[in-house]
Amino acid sequence: MIDYPRGIPVLIFILVTGITVLSVFAIERGEKQRDAADVARKAQAMTSAIERRAYTSSAYLRAGAALLSTQDDVTPELFRRFVSELRLDANYRGAEGIGWAPVVEAEELAEFEARLGMSRVEEQSVSPSIEEQPRDTLTPILYLQPDTVRNRRALGYDMYSEPVRRAAMDLAAANDRPTASGPIVLVQEGGGDAAGFLIYMPVFEGLSSSRELKGFIYSPFNAAQFLRSASDLVSYEAIGSRLLDGEATSQTSMAQTEAWVDGRSTVTREVNLANRRMVLEVQSAREDGLSSMSMITLLFGLAVASLLMLVSRLLTQQSLEDRRAISWFEEQNSIRNSLTRELNHRVKNTLANVLSIVSLTRRRSENLDEFAEGLDGRIRALSATHDLLTQSEWGTTPIRSVIEVELAPYARDADHRLELDGPHTELAPNDALSLGLAIHELATNAAKFGSLSVSGGSVAVRWSQVNDTLAKVEWIESGGPPVSRPQRRGFGTDLIEKIVAHELRHPVELEFRPEGVRCTLLVPVREPSEFELRRKGPGGRGH
């Protein structure tokens, strides 16, 4: 390298680049072989699925032909019961249903049209009419199940009047087996032009050698739905595939999936679809260009060949790491500041509640013991609700949890009955504190003077959601001593009707009924975004 300071680096670059190109070539060759095998496997699976669907349809039609050949008259009830008892499953998806088209002579047309119009609001007629297209023999559709608006469009249509259908019907009658038609547009399509096909099975009168053709039982198919159902059956709906009529002079495309892209390589398979040769084309899902593995190999080879850029790359990487570290520290500092502000706000709210409780308790207490006892109970109520909020990381808290915490001292008492009922509703932290304080005061009053002060008393707490932003909580006492309105307002009444109502921003209804105290509170239901700490990405600010 001392003698050739420029030649050796160039030689190394050329050598590594050559090895990289050979590796990419080998990878691409393997990818193409693997893709070809995968497409061939998918094509075979779809071919089997299509033939299986055609075989299933043919089996149903054979069963129908065997039944109808023994019947003197094919009534609507008989045909409807036959189709319903088939219990068509997912293997019959893609078909419009099963129909019956009897052979009718021209002189029998009036009688057929009268039968066709039975149970119909409007008169039904055969189309095309004999006047439009004179003919001696017709095969109009009499029944088509399921009886949908779409299928009713086909009733009365003479399939024997159309050349493609007629050719398939003649072939089916000659071979006495299910036979598919060439591409046609189903009458059910109305004014649409979606391609389809039909599978016919002849029905002969009796079982003797000189039997007479009675009609055709058949299934109409929308080609696109049939192909899509076959793709769903093998879970290959994302691949491009196309179904063509293989017996036409120039192969005609009957249907193709949405994933079909013109110009891609395909694998072709012949399909025997009810005695008619069809062609299935399945496309490769591989797009033109290098595969991801080849791109990675090429980029890696060029990176190795560019050794001279290594030092600058390491320095740049170190600089980026330093910048990320600085951004992370800035983000943590912003979050810490936001948490401090949030903590100050919540502590101030809690202290304000405590000061209000102390002030009202002092004014309503006649001695120090009464003051200490009342203050202790209310501070404990706040503490219990605080514990709930801490467990939820000061997020939302269910109403049921708040009520259960405050009524826990009475829940294990066999002399009393507590009933809690209501949907799962989450409350914001401050609203949960106010509700907990109100429930504590109501429970304390009930334990001293109300239904929880005697054996057999009960308390029912029911809540419901009035709308998306408001919940109603009802406290109902029963089974206690008779209640009369107190002569003077106690602290509990003031706390509930003033402090709690103020904090919840809704009036509180407190009723002293003879059968027991009733209290109705309206509690806001807020979205978490209204009170939770929100954060942005690195370097952002918390709120």
511: pLDDT strictly greater than 70: yes
Say which range, 19-23, 34-38, 104-108, 138-142, has the weakest mean pLDDT: 34-38
Indicate the average pLDDT of the chain: 79
Instruction: Judge whether residue 139 has pLDDT over 90.
Output: yes
Cα–Cα distance for residue pair 37/43, rounded to 1 Å: 10
Helices marked H in 69-138: 76-86, 109-116
Range with top average pLDDT, 20-24, 104-108, 295-299, 357-361: 104-108
Residue range 20-28: average pLDDT?
81
Instruction: Output the CA angle 479-446-407, nearest 5 degrees.
Output: 105
In the prediction, which pLDDT does 313 show?
Answer: 44
Q: E strand or H helix at 495, and its extent?
A: none
Model confidence at 315: pLDDT above 50: no
CA separation for the pair 233, 260 (Å, rounded)? 18
Strand-pair category, 195-205 with 179-180: antiparallel
Does 125 score more than 50 pLDDT?
Answer: yes
Residue of higher predicted confidence among 537 and 70? 70
Top-confidence residue, 28 or 70? 70
Residues 165-188 pLDDT 10s: 999 999 999 999 999 999 999 998
pLDDT score recorded for residue 64: 92
Q: Which of 244-248, 389-393, 472-476 reaches the highest mean pLDDT? A: 472-476
Q: For residues 488-504, give the mean pLDDT.
A: 67
User: By the 8 A CB rule, do 241 and 46 touch?
Assistant: yes
CA atoms within 13 A on the CB side of 412: 3
The residue among 542, 527, 540 whose CA lies nearest residue 340 is 542
Question: DSSP letters along 396-410, please?
Answer: -EEHHHHHHHHTHHH
Instruction: Inform me whether the pLDDT recorded for 327 exceeds 90.
Output: no
Task: Write down all domains in the chain, each with its CATH number in brackets.
Answer: 13-283 (3.30.450.350), 331-530 (3.30.565.10)
The answer to whether the predicted template modeling score (pTM) of the entire model surpasses 0.75 is no
With a cut of 60, say whether residue 12 has pLDDT above it.
Answer: yes
| pLDDT attached to residue 526 | 83
Helices (H), 69-148: 76-86, 109-116
For 180-234, the pLDDT digits (tens) are 999 999 998 888 888 899 999 999 986 555 678 999 999 999 888 888 887 777 7
DSSP 257-284: -TT--TTS-EEEEEEE-SSSEEEEEEE-
pLDDT band at 342 (very low <50, low <70, confident <90, very high): low
Average the pLDDT over each of 81-85, 229-233, 305-309 and give the range with the smallest value.
305-309
Number of alpha carbons in the 13 Å side-chain half-sphere of residue 218? 30
- Please report how the helices 310-364 and 368-391 are oriented relative to each other, as an axis angle in degrees rounded to 10: 160
Q: How far is CA 274 from its chain centroid?
A: 37
pLDDT(413) > 90: no
If pLDDT is split at 50, 70 and 90, which confidence band does 2 have? very low
Question: What is the per-residue pLDDT for 170?
Answer: 94
The encoded tokens of residue 200 equal 């016919």
Task: Report pLDDT for 47.
Answer: 87
CB 431 within 8 A of CB 394: no
